[in-house]
């Protein structure tokens, strides 16, 4: 089974994109260094401090706009093209999660449940809602950091009934993500193996993902718990809970 996400030739190739060409890390490095250099220069203006302050200002601007004129001149781009799912998630970029679970239900039933993406928030805890726009395009709302909500549009770009569903965020979305789910027969009387592959470019890049892991919210764990809830929901008809029960 090929678990790699494959992106078919994109018709929108070559469309105008944002002019960002700096990665998240480089942006913040520029802002911090720029601010420091500016402050240093301002404190000693008489001794050629204006030169430091000016350089600091340029760095600051580079960071804030996420655009570097020099990089543009030399054709360098470290931004991972936040607008383009293909570029953002290509190779080892972004966070890549693979988890699977075996469920005591038929392939057809599980496929139907998942193909209706509006069902996903029932077991994916970070999702607030998924609304159908067309048969293949949907609008996703998720809980962002600090109580914010992030929204994006996604399209199903590959589907094989009772086998595979693959989706990705549409170009230009704030959130860059892609996912696929595979269904296969686990053997006679053994149910269906459901394998989910998720890729996304996390806020703060890979460093952000590492920091998130320190706080116990790494993506693999989240997806594993999501899949567990999916299994509980379709097998047992409910997700077990104790919240709301009495205690002393």
Site residues, other proteins (CB under 8 A)? 102, 104, 190-191, 221, 224-225, 228, 231-232, 235-248
Task: Using the minimum distance from each CB to other proteins, give the nearer residue, 162 or 232.
Answer: 232
Query: Measured at the alpha carbon of residue 76, what is the angle toward residues 8 and 70, in degrees to the nearest 5?
Result: 150
CB of 214 vs other proteins, minimal distance in Å: 18
Name the residue among 167, 170, 124 with its Cα closest to residue 143. Answer: 124
- The CB-of-245 to other proteins minimum distance in angstroms stands at 5
Residue appearing with tokens 């929108």: 12
How far apart, in whole angstroms, are the C-alpha atoms of residue 190 and residue 182? Answer: 16
Q: State the minimum distance, in angstroms, from the CB of residue 99 to other proteins.
A: 13
What does the alpha-carbon distance between residue 83 and residue 4 come to, in Å, rounded to a whole number? 21
Of 2 and 245, the one with the shorter C-beta distance to other proteins is: 245
Least Cβ distance, residue 216 to other proteins (angstroms) = 11
Q: Which residues contact 33 (CB under 8 A, 6 or more apart)?
A: 56, 59
48 or 104: CB nearest other proteins = 104
Nearer to other proteins by Cβ, of 17 and 228: the residue is 228
């Amino acid at each position: 089974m090929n678990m790699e996400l494959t992106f078919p030739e994109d018709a929108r190739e070559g469309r105008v994109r944002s002019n960002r060409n700096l990665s998240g890390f480089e942006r913040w490095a520029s802002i911090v260094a720029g601010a420091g250099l500016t402050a240093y220069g301002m404190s000693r203006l008489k001794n050629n401090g204006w030169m430091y302050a000016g350089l600091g200002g340029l760095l600051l601007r580079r960071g804030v706009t996420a655009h570097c004129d020099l990089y543009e001149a030399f054709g360098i781009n470290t931004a991972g093209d936040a607008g383009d799912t293909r570029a953002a998630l290509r190779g080892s970029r972004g966070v890549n999660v693979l988890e699977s679970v075996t469920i005591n239900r038929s392939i057809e039933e599980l496929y139907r449940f998942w193909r209706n993406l509006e069902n996903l928030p029932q077991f994916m805890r970070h999702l607030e809602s998924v609304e159908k726009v067309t048969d293949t395009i949907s609008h996703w709302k998720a809980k962002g950091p600090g109580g914010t909500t992030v929204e994006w549009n996604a399209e199903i770009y590959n589907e094989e009934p009772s086998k595979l569903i693959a989706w990705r965020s549409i170009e230009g979305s704030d959130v860059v993500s892609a996912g696929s789910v595979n269904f296969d027969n686990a053997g006679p009387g053994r149910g269906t193996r459901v394998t989910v592959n998720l890729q996304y470019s996390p806020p703060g890049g890979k460093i952000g993902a590492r920091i998130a892991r320190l706080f116990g919210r790494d993506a693999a764990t989240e997806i594993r718990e999501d899949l567990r809830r999916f299994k509980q929901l379709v097998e047992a008809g409910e997700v077990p809970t104790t919240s709301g029960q009495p205690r002393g």
